[in-house]
Structure 1
């Protein structure tokens, strides 16, 4: 048991060594700087690999802005990820050089993508995705780890032991802090172990904001278990447990659970209107070819989940459109594509071009 835990700490130290080496090598080279930028590992600089990288980068940005781990599975997102290059404002490549766990040098290529903020914001609004507002809070993570010799608090001096959670939080678009870990705070590990979130909150009064991610990670059979609680201003928002053979993965799930709890409470959907079915009239339908062209366009439009014909005249058709957000989102996407043009007035009428 002791050897296994020592192996975990050694792996954490090696990971920290690799990260430090990579930072020294990178220097002032290109790197993602804000929420609308992303870094993606790629196998080369060819166009196909680059476009795949754009899609992965846009998915990462949407996940960060929305706070949702499953954003790529939301209606319409998949279609827009295939058009990711249209949202790119600029990109660079970075050649990374580091040291692997065995001490051998490692090399890799990173695509650094900068997306157009207005275009991404419009996409989020159009598809009715939630937005987790910024600036975001920095909860304090009170983490205790027991390798069989008794629980110990992870403070700033032991930050490498919590590195996977700190990194995962950054991937989710926020940051986690750690307590200083002085003697008085070390005593709080007892409250962590007995599940006394109120006592931990009192120990955390010196830190801001009044949010705590409380976790105890301990040996469980051949693996590790993490019991987690997220507290916001004295209120428990969420509790969960995870088990894995790798303690680092268990620790990372603390950051995911905290992000999920914060998103559920604070993320808001935009003003494009609620999802639902809307009757929309389309004019300029003068032949069966026009009808098929319009139906094909609507069927492939990211915001449209389903189309149902309602009635038709000699030159128009009314469709019931099941939209991922409201009519303003549909109008925004239609204006972008230029296949149909909105008529003036309050009634949703579009003319096929």
Structure 2
């Protein structure tokens, strides 16, 4: 038996509205709960120091949301920074490792309205987790993989900037399991298959493959080079950073990665006319599972509205009203491992009715 839209909505919402608050999300892609928050170190709680810090925190938050530091040069953002209290929700102080920090959170709706006026990308809070495979060539020619227990400044800077920019990352343990699966040659050569296989134990959504070496090119004057490639699904972005100190190059690396990913997944007000996308989801054997899928879809920043068209025989069809195009919506949906596409590549052209299998 197949039940159609009106009956489904009336029955589900009348009988099971309370269940919505009990349905939890456990996405593979990381859901950032601090996207509109940031913190900076301070020397005191004096008023002048607080105002300066709040403006810095506002800038840091805007860059995290957009993925692009270039927006800070926009006049509208400069004016907003000068009126930071208009966007402020709350702030406070905390102490970590003998350092005092000012923390603040900002109004999501007001910030997004500001960013739309300058057509900046708004990169939602569901972001791909990148497995970082980084090999560094030492002065003596040997090469090492940067592991999670590394004590180098470069590794710590990588993690700090990734946290600041809202780019979820993981570094390999390089224990016996990793060493049996991956060699430094695999990382240096950016060989995808062994790195993808080894990354499965870390539940990553993509790879960030980087090699670090001292250039012999006279044009770069012997500087250090970071060559990187990030892969999420079938999307690939590349970059190259050059500097004279590898310990200080991890931050520009993360900045470039964030900017490229924000261009892929961010939503601009000038994007093509909003699309509608109909999808079919299988393996929905209870109303609870339908509610779970509906709540998941509604949580995506690219989705304006979710309408349940029909439900029956273990499957449901939903129509999604979107901010932007359908292909980008499919990319965003596929970041969650519970939604396994079964009749199309989610990063290729959009199918007429893409089918997903719900694996809760």
**Which range, TM-score by smaller chain?**
0.5 to 0.7
Shift of 1:110: 2.5
Describe the SS at the equivalent of 1:200.
helix
TM-score by length of 2: 0.57
Q: How does 1:113-124 map to 2 (within 5 A)?
A: 113-124=104-115
**Pairing of 1:5-44 with structure 2 (within 5 A):** 34-44=34-44
Change (3 A) 1:35 1:77: same
> What residue in structure 2 maps to residue 247 of structure 1?
246
Match of 1:181 among 174, 187, 193: 174
Structure 1 match to 2:268: 269
SS of structure 1 residue aligned to 2:111: helix
Q: CA deviation at 1:68?
A: 1.2
Partner residue, 1:76: 76
**Aligned-pair CA distance for 1:234:** 4.5
Secondary structure, aligned partner of 1:130: coil
Gaps spanning 5+ residues in structure 1: where? 1-32, 99-107, 275-353
User: Is 1:157 matched up with 2:149?
Assistant: yes
Task: Tell me whether 1:214 sits opposite 2:214 in the alignment.
Answer: no
- Map of 2:64 onto structure 1: 64
* Alpha-carbon distance, 1:129 to partner: 2.4
Match of 2:121 in 1: 130
Match of 2:259 in 1: 260
Match in the other structure for 1:228: 228
Please report the RMSD computed on the Cα atoms of aligned residues, expressed in angstroms: 3.0
The question of whether the paired residues in 2 share the 8 Å contact of 1:92 and 1:112 is answered with yes
Partner of 1:169: 162
Query: Higher RCO, 1 or 2 (CA under 8 Å, sep at least 6)?
Result: 2
Does the CA contact (< 8 Å) of 1:75 and 1:127 recur in 2? Answer: no
What is the CA–CA distance in structure 1 between the aligned matches of 2:36 and 2:148, rounded to whole Å?
A: 29
Q: What is the rounded CA distance, in whole Å, between the counterparts of 1:67 and 1:38 in structure 2?
A: 14
Q: Do the aligned partners of residues 234 and 75 (structure 1) sit closer, same or farther apart at CA in structure 2, a change above 3 Å counting?
A: same
- For residues 126 and 250 of structure 1, the distance between their equivalents in structure 2, rounded to whole angstroms, comes to 33
1:188–1:200 contact (8 Å) kept in structure 2: no
Give 1:190's aligned residue: 185
- Give the CA deviation at 1:245: 2.5
SS state of the match for residue 135, structure 2?
strand
Helix, strand or coil for the counterpart of 1:204?
helix
Paired with 1:135 and 1:97, the residues of 2 have a C-alpha distance of: 30
Instruction: Mark the CA change 1:228 to 1:124 in structure 2 (over 3 Å): closer, same or farther.
Output: same
After superposition, the Cα gap between the structure-2 partners of 1:44 and 1:219, relative to the gap in structure 1 and judged at 3 Å, is same
Deviation at residue 150 of structure 1 after TM alignment: 1.7
Q: What is the CA–CA distance in structure 2 between the aligned matches of 1:247 and 1:122, rounded to whole Å?
A: 38
By how many angstroms is 1:255 displaced?
1.9
User: Could you tell me how far apart the structure 1 residues matched to 2:172 and 2:135 are?
Assistant: 11
